[in-house]
């Protein structure tokens, strides 16, 4: 299958940019698969202006009509699911089955927010004066600037675009330059479904230049970003200086607590599958493993056996269960985290190095007995490296889980009700999975605390960032 021709998406269709040349690689081979031109500052300015023009009509489009357009877009995504999934594999590298799952969830998310468009309710408030009326209206905030990453190029994009459009906002998006085609295919689905031109635009370029320009653009009222804590901090500061709202979905470093009553082998099976999904490049990925000492050695052994069985390869090969990392930056970051942990006394139970082949592959890696001062327990690896640590008491496990500034997802494995109750309330995180690693569904809220950011995506909560409340007092 040929990789799609790349462009910007402006005024309802593909447009060739006039800006700096950008290059896309297939992470499974490291080879260049496309060059294309990014946006000039004038093109970015034009996208913001068109978005504002589109917003003035889209906000008044009846909710039933907005719903109908979103439903048609969801169906268009389903109709092209195989093609979109194959493109995700080419530019991101994940196994085809995972890419198909992502596209299915993308369509389901559009459908969910299509329904939510019809449930944007205000309320009436008993008036203080006879004959008076007090009420609230929920209104779209305006033009949204959305910045989305490369790890889930479809779902991360749509978790911003679908609720924003459902609320009546217009969006200018800058998806990651590593994975530009997926968002273009999705935008075309909305255009084919009847979304007015300008209501959804896509620009690419130098990320810092585009985000600075869009955040400052007078038409833009809302910033939403998914990516690293470091970049989120910069964007939030810029938005804050201009008193613009922001939603920040940032890094995570999810602790997994395996309780004394868990079955060591089945816990290791679930935990290793969660760790190596998307090659560990998931913000809610199971990331640090704290295991009760009574099952620790069995857990480590089974986890390591599972790591060795992972079939690492090109995501397009049906046998592959873990693809490459999406860019070479991750290889260097993982090499350094593994070297640091080993130098401090960790034990290598599996993997430990990049694969000697073209592309950006890293072996599924298991580090046992990781000491508390190892960097990998403080820095999110965002890759297929699993640090495992024993604990003796549940209080100690909670203290270890809360030892980073992150607080996105967290997980517990066990059945003892009082222990689970303690874990679901004491771990500092926006999400707690108990005996499951499913942390994100279209209908459920997803968001973190601390350095994992603020605000929610998913569920009815995911609509809130795109709405404000107007109070009307009539006498
Ligand atoms: P990075 O900080 O360079 O980039 C992260 C994302 O932000 C990319 O999509 C990039 O295009 C975008 N970006 C970078 N600078 C930007 C700017 N000034 N304005 C707007 N967008 C900008 O990191 P990376 O090397 O691409 O990824 C590694 C780290 O990023 C990981 O450690 C992880 O914490 C984080 N990350 C998180 C998620 C997530 O789902 N929360 C996704 C991807 C990356």
pLDDT tens string, the chain, 475 residues long: the values are 899 999 999 999 999 999 999 999 999 999 999 999 999 999 999 999 999 999 999 999 999 999 999 999 999 999 999 999 999 999 999 999 999 999 999 999 999 999 999 999 999 999 999 999 999 999 999 999 999 999 999 999 999 999 999 999 999 999 999 999 999 999 999 999 999 999 999 999 999 999 999 999 999 999 999 999 999 999 999 999 999 999 999 999 999 999 999 999 999 999 999 999 999 999 999 999 999 999 999 999 999 999 999 999 999 999 999 999 998 989 999 999 999 999 999 999 999 999 999 999 999 999 999 999 999 999 999 999 999 999 999 999 999 999 999 999 999 999 999 999 999 999 999 999 999 999 999 999 999 999 999 999 999 999 999 999 999 999 9
Question: Going by CA atoms, what residue is nearest to atom 29 of ligand 1?
Answer: 228
Q: Are residues 205 and 265 in the same domain?
A: no
Q: Are residues 112 and 232 in the same domain?
A: yes
CA gap 190, 77 in Å, rounded: 9
Question: Going by CA atoms, what residue is nearest to atom 30 of ligand 1?
Answer: 228
CA gap 399, 396 in Å, rounded: 5
CA gap 183, 13 in Å, rounded: 12
pLDDT at 368: 98
Dihedral over Cα of 84, 87, 89, 92: its sign? negative
Centre of ligand 1 to C-alpha 250, Å, is 8
Question: CATH no. for residue 458?
Answer: 3.40.605.10
Q: Are residues 395 and 468 in the same domain?
A: no
Burial of residue 353, with CB atoms counted within 10 A of its CB: 0-12 exposed, 13-18 middle, 19 or more buried: middle
Question: Going by CA atoms, what residue is nearest to atom 44 of ligand 1?
Answer: 227
pLDDT at 169: 98
Centre of ligand 1 to C-alpha 230, Å, is 8
CB 166 within 8 A of CB 190: no
Question: Count of domains in the chain?
Answer: 2
**Strand boundaries in 96-208, DSSP class E:** 123-125, 133-140, 143-148, 170-175, 200-202
**Structural domain includes residue 436:** yes
**Structural domain includes residue 339:** yes
Q: Are residues 375 and 431 in the same domain?
A: yes
The CB density around residue 42, as the number of other CB atoms within 10 Å, is 10
Element (H, E) at 230: helix 229-241
Q: Are residues 36 and 80 in the same domain?
A: yes
**Structural domain includes residue 102:** yes
pLDDT at 1: 84
Q: Are residues 230 and 348 in the same domain?
A: no
Q: Are residues 143 and 237 in the same domain?
A: yes
Q: Are residues 212 and 138 in the same domain?
A: yes
Q: Are residues 243 and 265 in the same domain?
A: no
Question: Going by CA atoms, what residue is nearest to atom 6 of ligand 1?
Answer: 227
CB 186 within 8 A of CB 77: yes
pLDDT at 466: 98
Annotated catalytic residue, options 91, 178, 249, 428: 249
**Structural domain includes residue 86:** yes
Angle in degrees, 0-180, between the axes of helices 63-79 and 155-167, rounded to the nearest 10: 160
Centre of ligand 1 to C-alpha 252, Å, is 12
Question: CATH no. for residue 374?
Answer: 3.40.309.10
**If you count DSSP H runs as helices and E runs as strands, how many of each does the chain have, helices first?**
13, 20
Candidate from 227, 250, 376 with most ligand 1 atoms within 8 A of CB, to mutate: 227
**Structural domain includes residue 261:** yes
**Structural domain includes residue 447:** no
Centre of ligand 1 to C-alpha 128, Å, is 51
Dihedral over Cα of 5, 9, 11, 13: its sign? positive
CB 74 within 8 A of CB 139: no
Q: Is 283 assigned a catalytic role?
A: yes
pLDDT at 132: 97
CB 405 within 8 A of CB 428: no
Q: Are residues 275 and 316 in the same domain?
A: yes
Centre of ligand 1 to C-alpha 25, Å, is 17
Q: Output the ligand 1 site: residues, CB below 6 A.
A: 147, 149-151, 176, 207-208, 211, 226-228, 230-231, 234-235, 249-251, 283, 329, 380, 382
Domain that holds residue 423: 254-442
Candidate from 228, 406, 440 with most ligand 1 atoms within 8 A of CB, to mutate: 228
**Structural domain includes residue 3:** no
The pTM (predicted TM-score) of the whole model is 0.97
Centre of ligand 1 to C-alpha 207, Å, is 10
- Atom of ligand 1 minimally distant from the CA of 333: 32
Q: Are residues 98 and 144 in the same domain?
A: yes
Question: Going by CA atoms, what residue is nearest to atom 22 of ligand 1?
Answer: 207
CB 47 within 8 A of CB 215: no
Candidate from 149, 220, 247 with most ligand 1 atoms within 8 A of CB, to mutate: 149
Q: Are residues 55 and 193 in the same domain?
A: yes
352 Cβ neighbours under 8 A, 6+ residues apart: 338, 342, 363, 365
CA gap 175, 180 in Å, rounded: 7
Centre of ligand 1 to C-alpha 396, Å, is 32
Annotated catalytic residue, options 98, 283, 380, 428: 283
CB 15 within 8 A of CB 185: no
**Structural domain includes residue 1:** no
CA gap 282, 100 in Å, rounded: 16
């Amino acid at each position: 299958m040929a990789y799609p021709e790349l462009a910007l998406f402006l005024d309802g269709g593909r447009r060739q940019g006039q800006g700096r040349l950008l290059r896309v690689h297939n992470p499974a081979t490291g080879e260049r698969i496309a060059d294309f031109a990014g946006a000039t500052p004038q093109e970015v300015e034009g996208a913001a202006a068109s978005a504002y023009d589109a917003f003035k009509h889209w906000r008044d489009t009846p909710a039933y009509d907005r719903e109908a357009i979103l439903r048609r877009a969801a169906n268009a995504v389903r109709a092209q699911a195989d093609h979109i999934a194959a493109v995700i594999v080419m530019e991101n590298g994940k196994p085809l089955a995972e890419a198909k799952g992502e596209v299915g969830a993308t369509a389901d998310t559009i459908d969910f927010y299509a329904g939510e468009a019809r449930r944007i309710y205000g309320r009436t408030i008993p008036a203080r004066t006879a004959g008076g009326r007090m009420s609230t209206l929920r209104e779209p905030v305006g033009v949204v600037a959305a910045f989305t990453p490369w790890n889930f190029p479809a779902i991360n994009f749509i978790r911003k675009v679908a609720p924003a459009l459902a609320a009546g906002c217009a969006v200018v998006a800058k998806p990651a330059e590593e994975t530009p085609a997926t968002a273009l295919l999705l935008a075309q689905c909305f255009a084919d479904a009847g979304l007015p031109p300008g209501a959804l635009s896509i620009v690419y370029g130098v990320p810092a230049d585009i985000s600075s320009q869009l955040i400052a653009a007078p038409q833009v009222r809302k910033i939403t970003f998914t990516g690293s804590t470091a970049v989120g901090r910069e964007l939030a500061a810029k938005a804050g200086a201009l008193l613009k709202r922001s939603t920040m979905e940032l890094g995570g470093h999810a602790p997994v607590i395996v309780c004394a009553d868990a079955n060591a082998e089945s816990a290791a099976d679930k935990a290793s599958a969660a760790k190596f999904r998307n090659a560990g490049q998931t913000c809610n990925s199971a990331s640090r493993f704290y295991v009760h000492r009574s099952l620790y050695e069995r857990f480590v052994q089974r986890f390591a056996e599972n790591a060795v069985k992972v079939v690492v390869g090109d995501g397009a090969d049906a046998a592959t269960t873990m693809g490459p990392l999406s860019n070479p930056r991750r290889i260097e970051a993982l090499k350094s985290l593994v070297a640091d942990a080993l130098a401090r006394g960790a034990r290598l139970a599996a993997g430990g190095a990049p694969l000697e082949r073209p592309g950006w592959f890293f072996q599924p890696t298991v580090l046992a007995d990781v000491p508390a001062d190892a960097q990998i327990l403080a820095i999110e690896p965002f890759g297929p490296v699993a640090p495992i640590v024993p604990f003796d008491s549940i209080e100690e496990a909670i203290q270890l889980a809360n030892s980073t500034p992150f607080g996105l997802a967290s997980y517990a494995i066990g059945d003892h009700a009082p222990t689970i109750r303690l874990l679901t309330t004491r771990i500092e995180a926006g999400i707690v999975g108990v005996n499951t690693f499913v942390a994100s569904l279209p209908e459920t809220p997803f968001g973190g605390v601390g350095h994992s950011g603020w605000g929610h995506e998913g569920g009815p909560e995911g609509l809130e960032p795109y709405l404000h409340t107007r109070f009307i007092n009539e006498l």
